[in-house]
């Protein structure tokens, strides 16, 4: 045996001997599945033709004893050497190769060479790609659609953003709800709706349609599913936004219907032949004229839907008055009362330096007493440079209320402030403006900076409302 092994080791397997010549057709096929490349799986050994084997081959195979399990452990190189060194039957077929270690030994004899080998399981052709994750990707898309279906749409108008949580709410109900904070939405006929979702914008044809119903309709469309695939990773979960649009003419004036009109005089209204006419009057009110077979009726108008909704107010174009300057004014008012030994009023003009872009305090010559201030305006700073922004006067220890004298005097279009209760640590302050002889009060912090100063954030952590305490 050792001599045969040495001879086998000296063999040159590259001298023209093939695997078929060495192992014959008895080499059993081993199904390794997709663990080896496709090209290797398709290379099956070709069986030796039956006519090329001598008849004595089968007899020699039957005479060979059954191999023991230890024979399975013989190295292939040893078996090749033994098969090549057989002098008695040089033309016989080689002995069957040992079974792989993974297969249990069997006592049945080997099948004759004429038996056809079992056909291997079909394998994918070279270059074919198997999508093992197709079902997973499809499940992910369905899960994403389900997640988006459970998210609430968002109302978006200007700087307002609010989740819509009522599944039964219609666009019209949403308009009524938001018109309290957005007065321009009060006119139903002039409000239209759009829904934007994943880059798709749909115009709402009927305001009575449900919001969630419209959202679900978009989510079921093929266009929406295709749009989701094109979104970038940061936009994988788009937000469904509901936006109103107010349709109005220039300057906020809506078109009057054919039977209504706005006129400058009652004579123009009579000549127009309109059934309903609106005419502004000298008292500042707008009157409504209605005409029918009975006659002409005139009454103050309560509501004109076609006109812009205007509310009294003030919007500051300049910076607010610094808190330090307001503190100086209050300190001056208190010092006047102390120096004169009794409660007196005083006045300070707040000017805006248009060159240096800052506020300047100016105290004009004035004659004061306990209830009034008479000011000499002949020595005012250059009006080309200094803009008169506000008058601030004191009411000493009295309440900060504008008197009838103040109403008669404060007629110019500017800001006015009164400071009272100077005997207290924090005095009272009230502010208003004049517009065409009418006065409208506004919050003082709208035109003056607050006196807030920084403090430690730990203080807020130490404060807790009683209702927020956990039950013991």
3-state secondary structure the chain: CHHHHHHHHCCCCCCCCCHHHHHHHHCCCCCCHHHCCHHHHCCCCCCCCHHHCCCHHHHHHHHCCCCCHHHHHCCHHHHHHHHHCCCCCCCCCCCCCCCCCCCCCCCCCCCCCCCCCCCCCCCCCCCCCCCCCHHHHHHHHHHHHHHHHCCCCEEEECCEEEECCCCCCEHHHHHHHHCCCCHHHCCHHHEEEEEEECCEEEECCCCCCEHHHHHHHHHCCHHHHHHHHHCCHHHCCCCCEEEEEECCCHHHCCCCCCCEEECCCHHHHHHHCCCEEEEECCCCCEEEEEECCCCEEEEECCCCCCCCCCCCCCCCCCCCECHHHHHHHHHHHHHHHHHHCCCCCCEEEEEEECCCCEEEEECCCEEECCCCEEECCCCCCCCCCEEEEEEEEECCCCCCCCCHHHHHHCCCCCEEEEEECCCCCCCEEEEEEEECCEEEEECHHHCECCCCCCCCCHHHHCCCCHHHCCCC
* pLDDT tier, 119 (very low <50, low <70, confident <90, very high otherwise): low
CA angle 297, 248, 171 (to 5 degrees): 100
- pLDDT for 352 equals 97
Mean pLDDT of 121-131: 51
Range 394-409 average pLDDT: 90
| Mean pLDDT, residues 306-319 | 87
**124's tokens:** 């994918």
pLDDT in tens, 142-196: 888 888 889 999 999 988 899 999 999 999 999 999 987 888 888 888 899 999 9
* Environment class of 257 (CB within 10 Å of its CB; exposed 0-12, middle 13-18, buried 19+): exposed
Average pLDDT, the chain: 76
pLDDT over 90 at 379, yes or no? no
Between β-strands 386-394 and 415-420, what pairing exists: parallel, antiparallel or unpaired?
A: parallel
Distance CA 48, CA 114 (A): 9
Confidence (pLDDT) at 194: 94
8 A C-beta contact, residue 102 and residue 32:
no
Say yes or no to pLDDT of 138 above 60: no
What is the C-alpha end-to-end distance of the chain, expressed in Å?
Answer: 92
Contacts of range 400-406, beta carbons closer than 8 Å, 24 or more positions apart: 400/427, 400/428, 400/429, 400/430, 401/430, 402/430, 402/432, 402/439, 403/371, 405/371, 405/372
What pLDDT score does 324 carry? 94
Whether residue 86 is predicted with pLDDT greater than 60 in this model: the reply is no
Look-up of token digits 């200007």: 158
Distance, in Å, from the CA atom of 391 to the CA atom of 349, rounded to the nearest integer, reads 5
Count the alpha carbons within 13 Å of 116 in the hemisphere toward its beta carbon. 3
Find the mean pLDDT for residues 49-60.
46
The residue to which tokens 């309709």 are assigned: 217
Percent of the chain at pLDDT > 70 equals: 67
If you search the block for the tokens 């004061």, which residue do you land on? 368
Three-class secondary structure assignment of 318-342 = CCCECHHHHHHHHHHHHHHHHHHCC
The yes-or-no verdict on residue 282 having pLDDT over 80 is: yes
Question: Considering the entire predicted model, what is its pTM?
Answer: 0.45
Residue 460 region, left (φ>0) first, then alpha (ψ -120 to 50), else beta?
alpha
pLDDT at site 413:
93
- Considering 107-121, 187-201, 384-398, the range whose residues carry the highest mean pLDDT is 384-398
Please state, in angstroms and rounded to a whole number, the distance separating the CA atoms of residues 189 and 371.
55
Burial class of residue 304 in the structure, from the number of CB atoms within 10 Å of its CB (0-12 exposed, 13-18 middle, 19+ buried): middle
Average pLDDT, integer, range 246-252: 54
């Amino acid at each position: 045996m050792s001599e045969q092994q040495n001879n086998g080791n000296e063999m040159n397997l590259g001298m023209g001997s093939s695997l078929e010549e060495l192992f014959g057709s008895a080499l059993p096929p081993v199904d390794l599945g997709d663990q080896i490349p496709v090209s290797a799986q398709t290379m099956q050994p070709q069986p030796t033709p039956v006519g090329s084997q001598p008849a004595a081959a089968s007899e020699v195979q039957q005479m060979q004893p059954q191999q023991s399990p230890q024979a399975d452990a013989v190295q292939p190189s040893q078996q090749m050497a033994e098969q090549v060194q057989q002098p008695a039957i040089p033309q016989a077929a080689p002995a069957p190769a040992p079974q792989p270690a993974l297969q249990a030994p069997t006592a049945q004899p080997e099948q004759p060479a004429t038996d056809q080998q079992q056909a291997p399981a079909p394998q994918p052709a070279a270059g074919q790609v198997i999508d093992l994750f197709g079902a997973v990707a499809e499940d992910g898309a369905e899960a994403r659609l389900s997640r988006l279906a459970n998210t609430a749409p968002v109302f978006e108008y200007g700087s307002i953003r609010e989740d819509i949580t009522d599944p039964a709410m219609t666009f019209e109900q949403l308009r009524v709800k938001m018109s309290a904070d957005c007065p321009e939405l009060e006119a139903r006929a002039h409000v239209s709706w759009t829904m934007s979702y994943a880059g798709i914008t749909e115009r709402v044809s009927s305001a009575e349609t449900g919001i969630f119903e419209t959202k679900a309709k978009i989510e079921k469309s093929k266009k929406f599913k295709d749009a989701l695939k094109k979104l970038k990773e940061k936009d994988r979960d788009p937000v469904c936004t509901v936006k109103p649009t107010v349709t109005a003419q220039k300057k906020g004036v809506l078109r009057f219907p054919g039977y209504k009109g706005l006129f400058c005089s009652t004579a123009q209204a009579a000549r127009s032949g309109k059934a309903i006419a609106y005419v502004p009057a000298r008292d500042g009110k707008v009157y409504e004229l209605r005409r029918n077979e009975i006659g002409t009726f005139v009454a103050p108008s309560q509501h004109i839907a076609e006109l812009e909704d205007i509310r009294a107010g003030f919007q500051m174009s300049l910076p607010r008055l610094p808190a330090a300057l307001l503190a100086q004014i209050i300190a001056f008012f208190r010092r006047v009362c102390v120096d004169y030994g009794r409660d007196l009023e005083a006045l300070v003009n707040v000017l805006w330096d248009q060159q240096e872009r800052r506020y300047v305090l100016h105290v004009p010559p004035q004659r004061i007493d306990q209830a009034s201030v008479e000011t000499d305006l002949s020595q005012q700073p250059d009006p080309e440079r200094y803009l008169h922004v506000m008058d601030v006067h004191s009411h000493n220890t009295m309440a900060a209320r504008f008197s009838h004298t103040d109403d008669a005097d404060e007629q110019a279009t500017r800001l006015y402030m009164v400071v009272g209760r100077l005997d207290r640590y924090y005095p009272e302050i009230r502010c208003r403006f004049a517009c065409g002889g009418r006065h409208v009060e506004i919050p003082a912090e709208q035109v003056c900076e607050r006196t807030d100063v920084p403090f430690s954030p730990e203080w807020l952590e130490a404060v807790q409302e009683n209702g927020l305490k956990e039950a013991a």
